[in-house]
């Protein structure tokens, strides 16, 4: 697994192609938009979707925790797809989640999908968390610096051998870092969309998630971006 370093407010962060961020100096792992129990949310409304999203997401989270072995885990909001999602966790998934969080300081940043703290799980919940020069929140604030956030499920498209590949991505300009959605059933918003591009008026750098590696390339300043299509985020 190849990690990509970025610097934010003087702190060195490591981007992982699994879609998580490590802050080695603080033994902290950051992840965003798990959207646990999204499948059951739609199933309750008559949508026929496979009920395996939570299991897959937790398996990936477990692997990330084993790889980085953090002392602290920060979840940047929308950890559950709705306020009742925690109650719908299957017994096996609930046991697995409690086990992987045992012995770790857990910070649940609240999101727009999960504005209330999860019940029966370890950790503390808050609107945003500040530590040292960095601020961790769900939705980015224009003009903020030293900020890590999620919400938009950023994705980017690159041409390759006569076709195009679209993948989730990180996006940073040295002042803020936007994380991709981690959940198995999450869609994405193109980084050219004004909602995302407007947060990076001077452009930035994309880190596209690949198989065990990240692909990096610059983005143009927001004023030079010509939006060809807009896809609303699934989160």
Two structure tokens written together for 216: 């990096």
DSSP H helical ranges for 7-116: 38-43, 53-68, 91-101
What whole-number distance in Å separates Cα of residue 175 and Cα of residue 170? 13
**How high is the pLDDT of residue 223?**
62
pLDDT band of 2, cuts 50, 70, 90: confident
Largest CA distance in the chain: 50
Whether the pLDDT of residue 235 is over 60: the answer is no
pLDDT value, residue 40: 73
Percent of the chain with pLDDT strictly greater than 70: 91
Dump pLDDT digits (tens) for 149-188.
999 999 999 988 888 999 999 999 999 999 999 998 888 9
**CATH number for the domain running over 4-224:** 3.60.21
pLDDT range class, residue 41, cuts 50, 70, 90: low
The angle at the Cα of 41, spanning 196 to 92, to the nearest 5 degrees, equals 110
How does pLDDT run across 47-106, given as a tens digit for each residue? 677 778 999 999 999 999 999 999 999 999 999 988 887 788 888 999 999 999 999 999
> Which residue in 20, 49, 15 sits closest to 34, CA to CA?
20
């Amino acid at each position: 697994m190849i990690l990509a370093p970025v610097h934010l407010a003087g702190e060195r962060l490591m981007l992982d192609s699994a879609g998580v961020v490590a802050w080695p100096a603080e033994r902290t792992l950051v992840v965003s938009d798990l959207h646990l129990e999204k499948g059951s949310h739609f199933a309750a409304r008559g949508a026929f979707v496979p009920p395996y999203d939570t299991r897959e997401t937790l398996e990936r989270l477990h692997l990330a925790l084993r790889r980085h072995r953090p002392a602290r885990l920060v979840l940047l909001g929308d950890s559950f797809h709705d306020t009742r999602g925690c109650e719908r966790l299957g017994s096996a998934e609930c046991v697995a989640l409690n086990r992987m969080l045992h012995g770790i300081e857990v910070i649940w940043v609240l999101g727009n999908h999960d504005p209330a703290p999860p019940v029966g799980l370890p950790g503390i919940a808050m609107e945003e968390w500040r530590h040292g020069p960095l601020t961790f929140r769900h939705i980015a604030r224009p003009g903020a610096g030293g900020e890590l956030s999620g919400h938009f499920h950023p994705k980017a498209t690159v041409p390759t051998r006569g076709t195009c590949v679209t993948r989730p991505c990180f996006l940073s300009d040295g002042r803020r870092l936007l994380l991709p959605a981690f959940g198995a059933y999450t869609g994405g918003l193109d980084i050219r969309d004004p909602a995302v591009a407007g947060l990076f008026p001077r452009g930035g750098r994309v880190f596209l998630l690949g198989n065990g590696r990240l692909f990096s390339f610059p983005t143009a300043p927001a004023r030079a971006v010509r939006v060809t299509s807009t896809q609303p985020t699934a989160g």
